Amino acid sequence: MSSESDTTERLVDQRFDSGPSLSFPCGDPDPGAEGDASADQSAPLPCLCCSAEFPSSDRDALSAHLLSEHCLVVADLALVADLDQYCRYWAPRLRADGGLREYCFTVFTNTGPSDAAPSEEYFLLSPKLDEDRLLRERLQRVRLERVLARQQRERTMTFSRGCLFCRLQYSGRLAGFFDHLAEAHNFSVGRPDNIVFGPEFIDAIEAKLEALRCLFCDGVFPDRATLKEHMRKKQHKKINPAHTAFDKFYVINYLEFGKGWQEIQQERDEGPPTGFDEPGSDDDWSDWTEAPSSGAVCLFCDFSTVDVDALSAHMRAEHQFDFPELKSRLRLSFYQQVKLVNYIRRQMVERACLFCQETLPTRATLLEHLRAADHLRVPEPSIWDQPQYFFPTYENDSLLYALEEAEGADDDVPVFPEDAVDVRQSVLADSAVRQELGGHA
């Protein structure tokens, strides 16, 4: 059985490599770049069984034609990674004499003894067939590789355009543009590391805003001011996860064959079986540890990790900021560490220098200022060791949970007693008052 499967896989690879190149879900912005595809995204889809063609965006029309004209059903057609490549692979095989019966499962209708209608023969092309399954997996794998290559180029390219919500003309890394939207306008589309086809994503968002459509509820408004007020009041300044048109801009939707982000997220939420419901499983909890729900985020950038030591090493290497050394040198108590972390977080949100308090236009320019002016330092305690910094800047900041007491730190808070009251000056020293109250003179 294994030998037969290996033979089928080699056959698929051979036929696949001799076919046309894989197309991008957003077209090819740079046909000459390595890792991109050159296929025309607007090329029509060929029918698997005849010479008919259909628009590349209309899978339903192709599916309806296959069923009505050829009695062919392609299972999970919507989940095929590259339908053009898929059709061009199968078309010469299914158009050959006997091709449908050779490659497809056959289903007969009206075969019961009481069925009056004539029996009809239908064909099913499904991943249950090894060759079809291997082809779909190969298409998915190649598309993922090219999507990741595109994402890597986007991380290093210089991106320039106007902000969607203000008059800022931005120029810099693409991730910095998304950071600006989140920090200056409270509009977050998720972590930039999870986004691909970023320029096209921004264009799609802008197109909806120019059409005066709410990004979340898709409502239409008479003018930009009304739309802006609606999105603010209804908290609709975000992407609606139910709008599948935006799925192609998130890498998670390319990770697994036949699965979108909903299925992957559901599997992560459910997690593996814990065994707690099995007989005797609740007798011993000694080896049970709770995994952190999310990683701790760097004080100066979007880097995150569940390993606090790795986070400290990152800040030391990338930002020349040694938090453990600082904690030890200043003998910071736990509460002082909390206030210092919250102070730095607040300064970064407000794009203000930690040391000199100068405000910069973007996070990128702030980081450049901190490095150039050697201001990645902690100012006088009178600036950051204040009660307002007991309150976290970010909800559920995992870094705060990982803080530990520095050796030699004194966390004792001095307690000063109130001044003793001179009872001789009290009204109760008057015997007439005590008698009136029912006491003794």
pLDDT bracket for residue 26 (50, 70, 90): very low
CA torsion angle 16 81 61 201 (round to 10): -130
Residue 257: per-residue pLDDT:
66
pLDDT bracket for residue 274 (50, 70, 90): very low
What share of the chain has pLDDT > 70, as a percent? 74
- Averaged pLDDT for residues 70-79: 90
Residue 426: per-residue pLDDT:
64
What share of the chain has pLDDT > 90, as a percent? 33
Phi, psi (rounded to 5 degrees) for 39: -65, 145
Is the pLDDT at 205 greater than 90? The verdict is yes
Q: What is the pLDDT of residues 151-183, one digit of tens each?
A: 999 999 999 999 999 999 999 999 999 999 988
Determine the Cα–Cα distance for residues 163 and 32; give it in Å rounded to an integer.
29
Determine the Cα–Cα distance for residues 152 and 356; give it in Å rounded to an integer.
35
Q: Is the dihedral of CA 393, 347, 402, 308 positive or negative?
A: positive
Alpha helices, DSSP H, located in 71-164: 83-95, 99-103, 130-156
Give whole-number Cα distances, 89 to 71, 102, 131, 146, 231, in Å.
19, 15, 11, 20, 46
- Mean pLDDT, the chain, rounded, equals 79
